[in-house]
Structure 1
């Protein structure tokens, strides 16, 4: 486990050309990472930084699609949402879908693009899926890779924080704050459906912070009977309304996945809020409404905590390259940035601990978790 020190004279004297890309779904704080990488690499080491467009797809193009980044270009990026480099969460390069319906291994094209740019190292910003692909590409293509974790789901292993999570929680919490008043005004049950591909970190964190009465996460099974009991108990206490938050990955009471079929044939999570609303209304008689936040959780100005985390991660990633300490991912642990092997990080999926502090806190506050 590596902790970071000031650069030495030898690392500052060696000129490098490094690349940076953002991969997978977008989130708040990505541009803050890019800004930090550019400032550290150019300002401290006098290196070149090349931003690669649309993740690995930019390296597949000929010539590779990239642009040299200077501090002046990225100074205003600290507060920008999304990613100025673009991203993609489609097309595994080891089985890339072609226009004729076939798939092709295009990993060698990506490695060739990296070498055509004359890069000495690559910083990849992504979640566990993206980092797994990037690490495999690095192994087969001779790429010196350093990883930075980002995901609004906060489910990357061995790090307490991933870029984008705090902003997503803030947005969900604000939505709960607003729903409290309209729920109370109309004596309704309001259900907020939030993102969370497989983990309920956003729901449990925002639910506690936003004063939800019911929190449903995929890690804890629920029954509709228990949810309706909570609604009835609140009525008996003089509260004729309830506010619930549910992660999109929560299944039906019988264990079925709730998904939507999109026009281009892809299935995605979505609809558990409406499923619950129909059944809660039928069982309890409560007037029920649903709000689905969707991609609003990915956008917006990054929170101060996400900007701080992104800045610390960007600086630390550059320092790893200066030390030639590759195949590592920067993490936040015990109030500091340390590095761990990428393989260890992606090999330890981080779900919500059903016996952990947040779950115990929710139960201690009388919040119903459905069980």
Structure 2
């Protein structure tokens, strides 16, 4: 009897970032070259298996060329809303479509599914797969770098590079016009990008969701820069940072959904009066997500993709690949799904910022 050729699926879920295509390429190369398997890319995250007809493409080595390494975004498409357990319908109601996802997996004849996503995607897809008995391996991706048990997620380093380059460009124009420049970066619940970019870019103030602050504390640090003989200052703030009174700053989209954004303008208006200085705000937004991935994201994504396929070959399922201490390891999905890894207010990065004289808030140290 001929041995059945194994078939694996792969999808990208949640917000896009740089390096996703490098992971798709690595999975394809390892699966085909290493094991002789077939690889099916599922379009638009979980929707590809929920749609009828199924929406997918079979990958081969011709598709998975070196050019994929250099491409931003994801060639499969992705979604960051539409929970299959409570899927929004046109009439305003919600419907449980989770079984459609499971049925799609079986209809395509897949043996396992590789999911590339952040903590939210891991939570939902892990629940979906467990309910339907679908073998799953996760690959972490998010520019926020907030997935538990991994030092790096795909997309973070490239986004950090973009934010750091923005700091390098803002510094000379701030000095030329004697201004306080505020840079608002992404980070809904965590401040990894803000902290690292602020340190790398020579910020005077870094504000993140994990550490409370006061306007007086910020203004005090900006006044110190003037006393030190400097005619300008740099402030970095994560978009999810609350006001000093603990309120979120959001704006409502056309679809009625409230999105983070505006904390930079909020701070600029108040600080201008407190320190008698001209302020300007730059909001990087989705610029941090897009563009060509940097070499480190390409390398990490490639290592994750190879290891994810090897896990399936070894029968080690319901795991997520992770980067720890310079090596790729794997951890149980149950320990990752829905868990957020924030900035440690007392960790090395925060200690470094304080040691450099950067104001990052007022927690006891």
Q: Which residue of 1 aligns with 2:259?
A: 268
Counterpart in 1 of 2:42?
52
Q: How does 1:1-371 map to 2 (within 5 A)?
A: 15-75=5-65, 76-346=67-337, 348-371=339-362
Distance (whole Å) between structure 2 residues aligned to residue 349 and residue 102 of structure 1: 30
Partner residue in 2 for 1:5 = none
CA offset digits 1:329-361 (Å, max 9, x no partner): 000112111111101122542110000000010
CA contact (8 A) 1:19 1:119 kept: yes
Task: List alignment gaps of at least 5 residues for structure 2.
Answer: none
Residue 14 to residue 320, structure 1, CA distance change in 2 (3 Å): farther
Distance, in Å, in 2 between the alignment partners of 1:135 and 1:369 is: 36
Q: Secondary structure at the match of 1:340?
A: strand
Contact residue 18 and residue 119 of structure 1 kept, 8 A: yes
Count, aligned residues = 359
- How far, CA to CA, are the matches of 1:186 and 1:264 in structure 2? 39
1:284 Cα shift? 1.0
- Contact residue 190 and residue 209 of structure 2 kept, 8 A: yes
Q: Helix, strand or coil: the match of 1:119?
A: coil
Report the alpha carbon displacement of residue 283 of structure 1 after superposing the two structures with TM. Answer: 1.0
Deviation at 1:140, TM superposition (A): 1.3
User: In 2 relative to 1, CA 88–347 (structure 1 residues): closer, same or farther, beyond 3 Å?
Assistant: closer
Contact 1:215 1:368 in 2 (8 A): yes
Distance 2:291 2:200 in 1: 19
Assess if the C-alpha contact under 8 Å between 1:146 and 1:328 holds in 2.
yes
Give the distance between the partners of 2:305 and 2:283, measured in 1 at CA: 32
Gaps of 5+ in 1: 1-12
Q: Contact 1:24 / 1:87 at 8 angstroms: preserved in 2?
A: yes
Classify the secondary structure of the residue corresponding to 2:62. helix
Q: Is the 8 A contact 1:23 1:54 kept in 2?
A: yes
Cα distance in 1 for residues equivalent to 2:241 and 2:125:
29
2:83 and 2:216 map into 1 onto residues whose CA distance is 42
Give distance in 1, aligned partners of 2:247 and 2:124.
Answer: 29
| Residue 139 of structure 1: how far off its partner (Å) | 1.1
CA distance in 1 between counterparts of 2:114 and 2:338 reads 19
Q: Is the 8 A contact 1:15 1:45 kept in 2?
A: no
Question: Structure 1 residue runs of 4+, over 4 Å off?
Answer: none
Tell me by how many angstroms 1:319 deviates.
0.3
Secondary structure of 1:71 counterpart = coil
Q: What per-residue deviation string (whole Å, max 9, x for no partner) do you get for residues 80-110 of structure 1?
A: 0000000000100000000111100000000
State whether residues 188 and 241 of structure 2, in contact with CA within 8 Å, keep that contact through their aligned partners in structure 1.
Answer: no
TM-score, with length taken from structure 1: 0.95
Per-residue deviation, 1:323? 0.9
Give TM-score scaled by structure 2 length. Answer: 0.97
Q: Secondary structure at the match of 1:346?
A: coil
